[in-house]
Structure 1
Amino acid sequence: MIKVLLAEDVHMVRGALLALLTREKDIDVVAELGDSSKILPTARLHRPDVAVIDIDMPGESDLSTVEKVHSELPQTRALLLTNHWRPATVRRALSMGVAGFLLKDSPPENLVSAIRELAAGRRVIDADLAVSAWQAPTPPLTDREMEVLRLAAGGEGVTDIAARLHLSPGTIRNYLTTVATKLNARTRVDAVRIAVNAGWL
């Protein structure tokens, strides 16, 4: 039996996915939730084989929750679902070793087969997502610079970013200055706009 954790914040969508998966004799949905902050503790409790996660859920930004699950529970394979994918997000997910990535408008049978493939140790990445991600221009920023810019884009101030990343406010200001220089941006807001338009955030 394949144990599955289902994380989706839209009740109707989660209900439809749950109904789909519970029809399968070899799949057992051990937990379903709509709050991204509960993904890691729930995964620790149930230790699912596959975690089906909507990465567009409100809460922790981007792939941070998925990274934590991957780090603590390597036996749990993540299958990410998204409507609004960005090339940089797909690239980061693939480099992290995420096992599966599907668009939400994929046929329902694709989700079921993807779960089985992941449980068998294989990877399933939507072909269009993979091709587009690798063809898109690579951001000229380091991973740390992207992380700082991502937090700034989320509305966090220098002090908050410094506390979250365990760095000094001066270091964060230096990162933001470097980011603006690399992107030829006049301001932090301009840097965010450039990164969003390029599909990096």
Structure 2
Amino acid sequence: MCHVLVVDEASFSIRKAVVHYYETKEPFYLPGDLTEGEEVFLATKEGIFAFAEALFTEYTTRPEDPFWRIESDGSEASYVCLDLISVDLRHPLLGRPLEQLGMPSGSIDGKTRMKLLESWQFGYFEADVQTLDQAKQRRTERFNERNHLEPVARQCAFCNEARQSLLEWHVTPDGYQTVCPTCHRWLHQQMHQAVDTAAATEEHD
């Protein structure tokens, strides 16, 4: 089963919430009644930006969460506990309303599910990771690089490469560095004992 869950941003700061809960690896609750293990795409009226799994559903008063924008009325309802799998606040699916995507909200059929999964994963599949830990590490790197807030610098901090279309972000304990794909790969080889984690780019020489 697969579900597209549309969240009203006037009631819940969903974009801030998914960034927070993805980084902390904590599950969180949203109104809904979904089956354990059901795949969930989170969306607003502006499009889709997160993929999650339903852990369980509880019939209860609204669970506490700092991202709610409205006061709870104390009534009971169904709330689904979600575990985030991936988040991308710059994914092309976020820039297109569901109507344009031809996607209904609520439960979706198998054909629509496959179309949506392929759209979500296209261009982000990491074929060179060999372990689950490497996959998780790459996912974290990609998330940080795609959701930074500062502009990219004009040249690589190491070799002075200046073709901006190839420049990328490298996260460090002190912030971000602008690097070209070659230096980016070299940096990760140094950091991870020469394990090739590759540059996070779809462009190559």
**Taking structure 1 as the reference length, what is the TM-score of the superposition?**
0.35
Larger helix percent: 1
Larger radius of gyration: 2
TM-score, L = length of structure 2: 0.34
Q: Which has the higher strand share?
A: 2
